[in-house]
Chain A
Amino acid sequence: NAGVTQTPKFRILKIGQSMTLQCTQDMNHNYMYWYRQDPGMGLKLIYYSVGAGITDKGEVPNGYNVSRSTTEDFPLRLELAAPSQTSVYFCASRGLAGELFFGEGSRLTVL
C-alpha cells in the first residue's frame, strides 16, 4: 500500500548544484503537485500536473522544473541550487473526492 513515494528523504546541496526529487504514486491519480513548506509557513505550490504530458506553474516556480511522462511519476528538478531553496518538499496526488495524499517529504538544505 505504497501511495505517494518520494526520494530522497534528505539531501544537502552546495550552491549551484542541481538535483532531481523523485515522486511516484501508485493510485492512478491524474492530478499531482509539488509543494514546499518553510518553517512556520503554509505549503506553497511549485508546480502541478493534471495528467501525463501536462504541467503548469504554481505560486513559486522559479528555480524549478518538472516533467510528467507517465501517470505515476512527477519528478521535480532543481537547477543551480540557492540557499533560498532550503525547505521541505512534498509531493502529493489528488483523489477522486478532492483529497490530497502526500509523500513523506524531502528535506533539502543548500549550503
Chain B
Amino acid sequence: RKEVEQDPGPFNVPEGATVAFNCTYSNSASQSFFWYRQDCRKEPKLLMSVYSSGNEDGRFTAQLNRASQYISLLIRDSKLSDSATYLCVWGPGTYKYIFGTGTRLKVLA
C-alpha cells in the first residue's frame, strides 16, 4: 500500500459546484499534513495546512480524520481558476515529506 493515496481523477465539475477530495495515509505516526495546488507544468504551491480540528480558508475547508487515517479538502463555489492538480502531502517526521500523486480538478463553464 502506498504511504499516501489519492484518487487521480479527473474530477469534472461545473462552476459553482462543491467538490471534495480525500487522501489516505498509511501510518498512524502522523505529524503534519498539507494540501498543495499544482498548475500544469508549474511548481506546487501551498494551499493550506491541515489542523486536527479542521480549518477553513475562504471557500476551502480541510479536515483530518486520524481514526480513519485520511484528510479531506472541500472546495465550495468552484471557480474556473480552481482547475489544477491538488497534492496531499504528509509530513511524518522532522524532515521527510510524502507526496500523493495528486487529484486533477477541472471546473467547467
Chain A interface (Cβ < 8 Å from any Cβ of B):
31, 33, 35, 40-43, 45, 48, 50, 88, 90, 94, 97-105
Question: Could you say which of A88, A90, A98 contacts B32, with CB atoms under 8 Å apart?
Answer: A98
Kindly list 15 other residue pairs between chains A and B, CB separation below 8 angstroms, not including A99-B49, A105-B41: A33-B97, A35-B99, A40-B8, A42-B87, A42-B99, A42-B100, A43-B44, A45-B96, A90-B43, A90-B44, A94-B95, A98-B32, A100-B46, A102-B44, A104-B43
Give B97's nearest chain A residue, CB to CB: A100
Closest to A94 in B: B95
**B14 proximal to A (CB < 8 A):** no
- Judge whether B34 is part of the interface by a CB distance below 8 angstroms: yes
For residue B89, which residue of chain A has the nearest CB?
A100
Give 28 CB contacts A-B under 8 Å.
A31-B95, A33-B97, A35-B99, A40-B8, A40-B101, A41-B101, A42-B4, A42-B99, A42-B100, A42-B101, A43-B44, A43-B87, A45-B97, A94-B95, A97-B49, A98-B31, A98-B34, A98-B49, A99-B46, A100-B44, A100-B46, A100-B89, A101-B46, A102-B44, A102-B45, A104-B42, A104-B43, A105-B41
CB distance from A50 to the nearest CB of B (A): 6
Q: Could you tell me how many residues of chain B have their Cβ less than 8 Å away from some Cβ of chain A?
A: 24
The CA of A48 and the CA of B46, in the complex, are separated in Å by 19
Q: How far is the CA of A101 from the CA of B44 in the complex (A)?
A: 8
Assembled-state Cα–Cα distance A103/B45 (Å): 10
Give min CB distance, A80 to chain B, whole Å. 27
User: In the complex, which residues 41-62 of chain B have their Cβ closer than 8 Å to any Cβ of chain A?
Assistant: 41-46, 49
Most buried by A among B8, B41, B43: B43
